[in-house]
Structures are given as structure tokens and as C-alpha cells.
């Protein structure tokens, strides 16, 4: 049992409280999901359970945390290891050894256990987690999902009663994330382990958890059954990332149709069946296939493009693509399908092995990437790689100075970007001390200030909460209104279904589909969004088979 | 292709790290004490069976390729700079400041000798790097009674080096895509312009090390009571045999150096090479030592259950 009593905590270098008056009881074998916007205190709450807060971080604390009758706030983390297993966000930085078996053994070695026990426990945990086949593999050769499973095995081997996972899937691709979530569910069901999971993509787990805890501004704002929260949260739905299938029930309720709240597609089909079978749909939504536009409006084009890395791996094979001014293109595909390589070729960071890339008619092999920066802006996944200056103001003007903008233009653009991205209050702050959302706004503002005609974003939404994603997409909509072109690399199909236009699907270095989002995403086994999967059995009743979002389904509803 | 350790489960990989370290030291000692080009060639050749048995031909090839380029560069500098030797193959016209440059047969042979010396050393180092598990190396260093915390910290720091290079690459790309000219201006200006990366690089490393420290604490690092080891590398008869061979190799090179058997005069005239019994014995010895991991039945790293 975990018992928080009136816990308030403030980090040593912060003026704000990270946790305010937290009182919470968690029973043995419960599966708890904690969610909430970035910076709301979720990670701090988790770190109180194994004593990292306050013993590792330091700060001001009052109240108490008892974990299996141990005073967690006064027990060093190393002594809590046998009771609480903690898995972190980044699969790379929490691994110590070089191969899987030794990584798992690390904790047992620290506890000084005899080798006979170590051998037995390692065998057990390899089987439990299902990574026996990886036991002799080097960690550097594992995928993100396999690394996270190894991290889970390396804490499970200490036989903890509680497993705490702090955003374990935020750095993983959808397949890796799914594998980790399935494993966690199984550990809770079969071993009766208490699981506390922090997660932004709640659609993945909502149906499996016993309790949902929602946090905001260092406080717990909801603690109870997931369906109860959805009823409660319906008035402020745009702020929370509930699954589209659940969102549909809320929208229908607002139209006067009261249904149960589904958490999975299967439940959705049962609950919405009478409505979807009711032959009262407006005529199918007309989708607009992607048309070849006038070639003069082409901002970037690739012809018969091949790319081979120095180690000989061919990652792009015969790619031909035109990017037209004003388009919003989502580049999707499995990991290692060549998305990022194509993006880096489209801004000149990489040069073609064969074929040609032209940006505004300029062959990228004939100029430097620095010179193409005026036309193409590139936003990296991790906002930290954009931060070089001492203040937010300097960071935003950095690119404009590099490109030789006049001081008048810099001044005007700076004020505009600070206002647009709501960064005026932290104009003189050190960019690296900001929150994730603020850093991302600074990164985006620093690129957009130079007014590039084409903006490429490499998985900018990975690890972001729904609110931050929504804000980012609103900035992109604004950018396009001013004539900008966007290429977005993403695994987030729901987001693309909602905001994308043209979708380019890549596989093994080739473009396998290119067209309007309805053409590419609808009826796809792997890449279709929830709503599209929901409606497929009901298309014979008149509903259009290429509907992708809640908004579209509601438009067709009489 | 990865130029780091990969467990390929070969007899070379299974050899005790101490064996490989002593062997590399012996090869280095040989390449320093001997300057006879034929013996140096033998020394280089003696490392090749390890490459084949260890299944690291491709990775080792990359090291050798790099060394060959370096050797060519050194050879050209040497040929231009060294004016010794009596057989002049080419004499340049009078050049300002430099005067006449003579390229001699002796300087060419000397350059080749030095390149082979470099190749032998790099080859041995490459084998060591590609076949020692860093965790085994850590345990080996612990045998020297260096505190565990120090060794582990060093080992983690080394493991982070590739991450540091990836970070550096990404940060440079980020600067380039924002129009920052890093390669502009003179040498000092370029260094100064690149220095902008350092705070970001350090900051990323610091964040990474904090995350590592958190993960280690959460898994009981620093707990009271004795630290145990899951993998204890056992020393086998092959290891002892190999250590004995490497030490004998050491002794052989020392004796040859003292008796001036392996010394070779390049200047003013190259000495004619005569294949003597000493060459044959050295060659046999080297081939035997190189083949020893395969001769013996494959070792198994046994988990000590005591």
C-alpha cells in the first residue's frame, strides 16, 4: 500500500511548488494511470515513491509518503530498490552495462546477492518479460522497445512489489510502445504487481487501468474510474487527449444522444451500432484526391533520388516527389523507412547519392545547407538541440542574424514571434531552464522568425501532451495562412487525420502511397485512425468509408 | 558496420582480457624494438589469424584502411624530409627555401618499414578493441584494486562517448539549418565559431548523466554490504598458455634487441636481407602464438557458482 498524506514539495532551485497537498492511497495490485499536462508534477509524484524526491534532488518537503510501511521520504533510494522498481522515459540513458544479461544482473550485484540466486532470478525474469532470446545481445543493437523491456526486466529482477513507469513509451515508435504497454498489463494481471504508469497517450491503456489520476498545476484534479473522468471532463474536452472513440460519445451526447462511454473500438462498435446502422446519414463526404498542381508552384522536388549511408546501407530508393507551395504534407511510415533521410535531403543536410533534389530551382549539391536555410526551416524532435543562446530573445534573433536580416526586420519579427508564441514573459530567461512546452515554442519561434518558405518538422509531437500538440498544430495552421509549406514527419495517425492534408507513406526507402489523407489513411490495416476503423462494418448503411475524424462523422450526422 | 565490440563468440573473444592486453603489449614492444622490415611484416602477419578466427575482418579492415592512408601520408613526408641514403632515385631542381630535394631508395624502404610498424600496432589495438567486452575489461581493471566506483564511472563515461558524437553531429546540423556558417574565416575564427556548441553539448551530457545516476540509484547502486559479480571470468589453461607465449614473445624481442638480431640499417645503404635461422624461429613462434586460440578447444566463459 502507498499512502501520500498532505505532501507538498518544492525543488531547491524553483520558486513554484511541484506538488501541492497531495493525499492519495494506492492499494496493492492496482493498475494506476497518471496523466496531465507537461510540468504538472506527475514525474515528481513518481519520484516520491522510491525516495528520489527528496534524497536525490533535494528541496523543501512537508507531509509524508509511506510505501509498504516504509517512510519513503527518509529512506535512501538505493534501499527502496527492493520495494519499488522504477523505469524511466529514455531507454538509452538508464542502461548501464553492455549486454542484456549483465544489465539485468546490475541491481542484484549492487544488493550483494549470491550468484546462485542471481542465476535463478535472471532466468525467471527473462522468461517473464519474454526477452530470453535477447539475453546475450549487446544493448546497442536493441530497438527502443527492446531496451525498455530490458529496463523493466532489470528492475523486476529485484522482486519489487511496486512498478513505477515514468512515460516509458514517449521515446518509442508505435510498435515499441504497444509492446511495452502489453507487457505492463500482463505484469499487473499475472503477477499482481502494483503498477503506476505515467502516460500521455492514454488511449493505449485507458481500458486496462483500475484507476485514473489526472494532475494539473501540481495538484490531483481527478482520482477514480476512467469513465467517470470522461463524464466530468466533457466540458473541457479540447484540453484533454481522450481517445477519438470516446470523444465521439461526448459529441453525440451534446447532440442529445446519450450513449455509454466506449474505451475501445470493439466497445464502440457495440455502443454506436444502432446509430451507425440508422440509415439517416447525409451523402458521403466528398474527399479531394491529391491533384498535380502547376509545376511553377513547386517549392521542392526530388527526382530519381537514391541515398546510401557510408556503411553501405541504401535507405532511399528511386524517390520522385514534388512539394507544392502551401501544402501540408505528413510523412509517415514505420521506423527506418527513410522518412528522416528524405527530410534531410530536402533541406540539403544530406546530399543525394544518385538523382537530384531542387529547392526553389537550386540543386542542393551546388550549395551549402547554410545557404538553403533562407528557404527551408528544420525543426528537430528534441527542442534542446535548438538552444544555443543565453536568452529567449537572442535565440529567436539568432537565425535572422545569421541570414543577414536588417535590424529593423529583426526587431519587428522578434516582437511578432514573442507575441504569437506567448513568450513575452520569458523574453530574457535562459532557454534551457524552461519547461518542455516553452522550449518547443522557442525552437519553433527561432525557426519561423526567419520566415522560411518550407518548414520541416521531425516528429515534433513525440512525448508531448495533447494540449502542447494542439498548440503546435495551431501555430502551423497560422504559418500556412501566411503562405508557408509544411512537411511533418510523425507516427501520430490521429493527429495527421485531424490536421493533415496530403499524406506520403514510406516503406523500405520507397514511397508506397502519396495522396489526400482520406485516400491514404482510410481502410489501411496499420495506418487508419480509430474512427475509420470503427465505421468500416457500417459503410453499407450509407456512411462514407473514408471518414477519419470525429468532426467528419459529426458533419455527416443529421 | 560497427567499430565497437560485438560478441561473436569466437575463441579470440573468449580469451581472458589480461591475455589480450599482454599480447598487445608484446606486439607493441616488438614493433618498437625491431626495425627489420621482414620481421615487422611477420609481426603484422601474426596478428591476422586473430582477425580471421575472431570474425572481425570487415571491422579490422576499416582500421587498417585508415592506417594505410595515414602511412602514405607519413611516407610522403618522410621521403621529402629525409635526405639520407646513397641511392638517389630523383633529384628535384633547386626550390626556394627548401633547396634540392632528393628522394632516395633508402628513404622509401624506411618509410615502408615504418608503415608496417604502424600497421602491426594498429592491427593489435583493433583486435583488442573489437574483441574485449567492456564489462570484462572493467572486471579486469578491478583486479588492479582500483575502486569499483571509479572504474564504473570511467566505463560509463566511455560508453557515452558515441552519444557525445551523435549529439555533436545533431547540434552542428541544427546550427547549419539555421544559417550559421561554421566553416567561415581563418582557423582561429572557425574554432571560435564552433565553440558555440560546447555549452549545449555539456548541458546535454549533464542531463544524460543525471538520468543515469537516477537509474543506478533506483537499482540499488551504493547499497551497503558486499558487491557481487554475476559474471566471473575464469582463467583457463589456454589463457595461461597464451600469457606464457606472449611473455616469451616479449623476452624474444628483448633478446633480439640486445643481440641486435632484429635491427636493420636503412642508412646510408640498405642492408641486404638474409633469411637466417632467427627469422625462421621468430616466424614459427609468431604463427604458433597467432593460431593458439584456435588450436585449443574453445573456451567457455563459465559462471562461477561458488
A159 close to B (CB below 8 A): no
Contacts of A107 in chain B (CB under 8 A): 219-220
DSSP string, A477-514: HHHHHTT-EEEEE-S-HHHHHHH-SEEEEEETTEEEEE
Question: Is B48 part of a structural domain of the chain?
Answer: yes
Same-domain status, B111 and B258: yes
Same-domain status, B163 and B187: yes
Residue B240 exposure: Cα atoms within 13 Å on the Cβ side = 4
Same-domain status, B169 and B205: yes
Question: Is B223 part of a structural domain of the chain?
Answer: no
Same-domain status, B134 and B270: yes
State pLDDT tens for residues A411-441: 999 999 999 888 998 999 999 888 877 888 8
Predicted pLDDT of residue A271: 93
How many angstroms separate the CA atoms of A297 and A312, rounded?
A: 35
Q: Do B221 and A108 touch (CB under 8 A)?
A: no
Q: Please state whether B270 falls in left (phi above 0), alpha (psi between -120 and 50) or beta.
A: beta
Residue-range definition of the domain harbouring residue B68: 11-143+231-295
Contacts of B180 in chain A (CB under 8 A): 370, 398, 402
A329 close to B (CB below 8 A): no
Same-domain status, B132 and B254: yes
State pLDDT tens for residues B265-279: 777 777 766 666 677
Question: Is B162 part of a structural domain of the chain?
Answer: yes
Predicted pLDDT of residue A283: 55
How many angstroms separate the CA atoms of A200 and A240, rounded?
A: 10
Residue B94 DSSP symbol: P
Same-domain status, B170 and B31: no
Q: Domain boundary residue among B172, B192, B218?
A: B218
Q: Which of B174, B203, B215 sits opposite A94 (nearest CB)?
A: B215
A189, pLDDT greater than 60: yes
Q: Which of A399, A400, A396, A401 is nearest to A429 (CA)?
A: A396
Domain count, chain B: 2
Q: Which of A155, A349, A384 sits opposite B177 (nearest CB)?
A: A349
Predicted pLDDT of residue A387: 93
Backbone angles phi, psi at A224, to 5 degrees: 170, -160
Question: Is B290 part of a structural domain of the chain?
Answer: yes
B7 close to A (CB below 8 A): yes
Question: Is B303 part of a structural domain of the chain?
Answer: no
User: What structural domains does chain A harbor?
Assistant: 2-224 (3.40.50.300), 237-287+536-555 (no CATH), 295-529 (3.40.50.300)
State pLDDT tens for residues A285-307: 555 554 545 445 899 999 999 99
Predicted pLDDT of residue A286: 52
* CA B113-B118-B123 angle, 5° bins: 125
Same-domain status, B121 and B268: yes
Same-domain status, B138 and B29: yes
The H-assigned helical ranges of chain B are 11-14, 17-33, 37-53, 57-81, 105-131, 134-142, 148-159, 161-177, 187-194, 197-218, 237-258, 277-295
Tally of CB atoms within 10 A around B302: 11
What's the rounded mean pLDDT across residues A170-193?
A: 88
B231 close to A (CB below 8 A): yes
Residue B23, classed as helix, strand or coil, is: helix
Question: Is B43 part of a structural domain of the chain?
Answer: yes
Same-domain status, B192 and B51: no
State pLDDT tens for residues B122-142: 999 999 989 988 888 888 888
Q: Which residue has the higher pLDDT, A87 or B260?
A: A87
Same-domain status, B213 and B105: no
Same-domain status, B17 and B92: yes
Residue B144, burial from CB neighbour count under 10 angstroms (0-12, 13-18, 19+): exposed
Residue B131 exposure: Cα atoms within 13 Å on the Cβ side = 30
State pLDDT tens for residues B7-22: 788 888 888 899 899 9
Beta-sheet pairing, A194-198 with A354-359: unpaired
Dmax over Cα atoms in chain A, in whole Å? Answer: 73
Question: Is B92 part of a structural domain of the chain?
Answer: yes
Q: Do B5 and A138 touch (CB under 8 A)?
A: yes
Q: Which of A57, A42, A159 is nearest to A89 (CA)?
A: A42
Q: Which of A40, A64, A43, A62 is nearest to A52 (CA)?
A: A43
**DSSP-assigned beta bridge partners for residue A516:** A502
Shortest alpha-carbon distance between residue B222 and chain A (Å): 7
Q: Which residue has the higher pLDDT, A75 or B6?
A: A75
Shortest alpha-carbon distance between residue A385 and chain B (Å): 6
Shortest alpha-carbon distance between residue A47 and chain B (Å): 10
Shortest alpha-carbon distance between residue B260 and chain A (Å): 45
Pairs across A and B, CB distance < 8 A: 177
Q: Do A93 and B180 touch (CB under 8 A)?
A: no
Residue A546 exposure: Cα atoms within 13 Å on the Cβ side = 13
Shortest alpha-carbon distance between residue A450 and chain B (Å): 9
Question: Is B305 part of a structural domain of the chain?
Answer: no
Same-domain status, B246 and B184: no
Q: Domain boundary residue among B173, B189, B218?
A: B218
Predicted pLDDT of residue A240: 57
Amino acid at each position: 500500500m502507498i499512502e501520500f498524506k498532505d505532501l507538498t514539495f518544492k525543488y531547491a532551485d524553483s520558486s513554484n511548488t511541484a506538488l501541492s497537498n497531495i493525499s492519495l492511497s494506492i492499494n496493492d495490485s492496482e493498475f494506476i494511470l497518471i496523466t496531465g499536462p507537461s510540468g504538472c508534477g506527475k514525474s515528481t509524484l513518481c519520484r516520491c515513491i522510491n525516495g528520489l524526491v527528496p534524497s536525490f534532488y533535494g528541496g523543501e518537503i512537508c507531509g509524508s509518503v509511506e510505501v509498504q510501511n516504509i517512510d519513503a521520504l527518509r529512506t535512501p533510494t538505493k534501499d527502496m530498490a527492493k520495494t519499488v522498481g522504477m523505469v524511466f522515459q529514455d531507454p538509452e540513458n538508464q542502461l548501464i552495462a553492455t549486454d542484456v544479461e549483465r544489465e539485468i544482473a546490475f541491481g542484484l550485484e549492487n544488493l550483494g546477492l549470491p550468484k546462485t540466486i542471481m542465476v535463478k532470478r535472471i532466468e525467471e525474469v527473462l522468461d517473464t518479460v519474454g526477452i530470453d532470446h535477447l539475453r546475450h545481445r549487446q544493448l546497442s543493437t536493441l530497438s527502443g522497445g527492446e531496451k525498455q523491456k530490458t529496463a523493466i526486466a532489470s528492475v523486476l529482477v529485484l522482486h519489487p512489489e511496486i512498478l513505477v513507469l515514468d512515460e516509458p513509451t514517449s521515446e518509442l515508435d508505435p510498435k515499441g510502445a504497444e509492446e511495452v504497454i502489453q507487457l505492463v498489463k500482463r505484469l499487473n494481471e499475472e503477477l499482481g504487481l502494483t503498477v503506476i504508469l505515467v502516460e500521455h497517450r492514454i488511449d493505449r491503456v485507458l481500458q486496462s487501468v483500475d484507476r485514473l489520476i489526472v494532475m494539473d498545476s501540481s495538484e490531483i484534479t481527478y482520482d477514480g474510474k476512467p469513465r467517470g473522468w470522461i463524464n466530468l471532463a466533457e466540458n473541457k474536452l479540447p484540453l484533454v487527449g481522450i481517445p477519438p472513440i470516446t470523444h465521439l460519445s461526448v459529441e453525440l451526447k451534446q447532440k442529445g444522444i446519450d450513449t455509454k462511454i466506449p474505451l475501445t473500438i470493439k466497445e464502440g462498435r457495440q455502443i454506436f451500432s444502432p446509430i451507425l446502422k440508422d440509415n439517416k446519414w447525409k451523402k458521403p463526404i466528398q474527399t479531394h484526391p491529391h491533384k498535380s498542381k502547376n509545376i511553377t508552384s513547386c517549392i521542392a522536388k526530388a527526382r530519381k533520388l537514391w541515398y546510401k549511408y557510408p556503411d553501405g546501407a541504401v535507405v532511399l530508393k528511386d524517390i520522385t516527389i514534388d512539394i507544392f507551395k502551401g501544402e501540408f504534407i505528413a510523412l509517415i511510415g514505420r521506423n527506418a523507412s527513410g522518412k528522416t533521410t528524405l527530410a534531410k535531403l530536402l533541406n540539403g543536410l544530406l546530399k543525394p547519392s544518385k538523382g537530384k533534389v531542387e529547392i526553389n530551382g537550386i540543386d542542393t549539391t551546388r550549395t551549402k545547407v547554410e545557404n538553403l536555410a533562407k528557404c527551408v526551416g528544420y525543426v528537430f524532435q528534441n527542442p534542446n538541440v535548438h538552444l544555443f543562446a543565453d536568452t529567449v530573445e537572442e535565440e529567436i534573433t539568432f537565425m535572422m542574424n545569421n541570414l543577414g536580416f536588417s535590424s529593423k526586420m529583426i526587431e519587428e519579427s522578434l516582437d511578432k514571434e514573442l507575441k504569437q508564441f506567448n513568450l513575452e514573459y520569458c523574453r530574457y530567461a535562459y532557454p534551457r531552464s524552461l519547461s518542455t512546452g516553452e522550449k518547443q515554442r522557442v525552437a519553433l519561434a527561432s525557426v519561423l522568425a526567419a520566415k522560411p518558405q518550407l518548414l520541416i518538422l521531425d516528429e515534433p509531437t513525440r512525448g508531448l501532451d495533447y494540449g502542447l500538440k494542439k498548440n503546435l498544430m495551431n501555430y502551423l495552421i497560422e504559418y500556412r495562412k501566411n503562405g508557408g509549406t509544411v512537411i511533418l514527419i510523425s507516427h501520430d495517425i490521429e493527429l495527421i487525420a485531424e490536421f493533415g492534408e496530403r499524406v506520403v507513406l514510406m516503406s523500405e526507402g520507397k514511397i508506397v502511397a502519396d495522396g489526400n489523407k482520406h485516400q491514404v489513411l482510410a481502410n489501411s490495416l496499420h495506418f487508419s485512425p480509430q474512427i475509420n476503423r470503427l465505421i468500416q462494418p457500417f459503410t453499407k448503411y450509407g456512411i462514407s468509408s473514408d471518414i477519419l475524424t470525429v468532426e467528419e462523422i459529426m458533419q455527416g450526422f443529421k | 558496420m560497427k567499430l565497437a565490440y560485438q560478441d561473436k563468440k569466437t575463441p579470440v573473444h573468449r580469451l581472458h582480457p589480461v591475455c589480450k592486453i599482454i599480447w598487445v603489449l608484446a606486439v607493441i614492444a616488438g614493433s618498437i624494438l625491431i626495425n627489420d622490415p621482414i620481421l615487422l611484416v611477420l609481426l603484422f602477419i601474426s596478428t591476422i589469424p586473430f582477425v580471421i578466427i575472431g570474425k572481425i575482418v570487415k571491422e579490422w579492415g576499416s582500421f587498417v584502411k585508415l592506417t594505410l592512408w595515414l602511412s602514405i601520408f607519413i611516407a610522403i613526408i618522410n621521403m621529402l624530409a629525409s635526405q639520407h641514403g646513397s641511392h638517389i632515385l630523383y633529384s628535384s631542381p633547386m626550390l626556394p627555401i627548401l633547396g634540392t630535394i632528393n628522394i632516395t631508395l633508402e628513404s622509401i624502404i624506411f618509410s615502408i618499414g615504418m608503415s608496417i610498424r604502424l600497421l602491426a600496432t594498429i592491427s593489435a589495438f583493433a583486435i583488442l578493441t573489437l574483441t574485449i567486452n567492456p564489462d570484462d575489461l572493467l572486471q579486469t581493471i578491478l583486479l588492479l584494486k582500483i575502486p569499483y566506483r571509479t572504474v564504473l564511472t570511467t566505463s560509463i563515461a566511455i560508453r557515452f562517448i558515441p552519444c557525445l558524437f551523435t549529439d555533436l553531429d545533431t547540434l552542428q546540423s541544427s546550427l547549419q539549418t539555421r544559417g550559421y556558417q561554421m566553416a567561415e574565416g581563418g582557423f582561429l575564427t572557425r574554432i571560435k565559431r564552433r565553440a558555440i556548441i560546447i555549452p549545449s553539448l555539456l548541458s546535454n551530457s549533464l542531463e544524460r548523466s543525471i538520468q543515469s545516476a537516477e537509474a543506478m540509484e533506483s537499482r540499488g547502486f551504493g547499497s551497503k554490504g558486499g558487491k557481487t559479480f554475476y559474471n566471473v571470468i575464469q582463467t583457463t589453461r589456454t589463457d595461461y598458455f597464451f600469457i606464457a607465449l606472449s611473455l616469451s614473445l616479449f623476452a624474444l624481442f628483448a633478446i633480439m634487441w640486445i643481440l641486435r638480431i632484429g635491427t636493420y640499417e636503412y642508412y646510408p645503404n640498405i642492408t641486404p636481407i638474409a633469411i637466417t635461422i632467427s627469422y625462421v624461429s621468430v616466424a614459427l613462434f609468431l604463427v604458433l602464438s597467432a593460431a593458439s586460440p584456435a588450436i585449443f578447444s574453445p573456451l567457455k566463459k563459465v559462471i562461477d557458482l561458488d
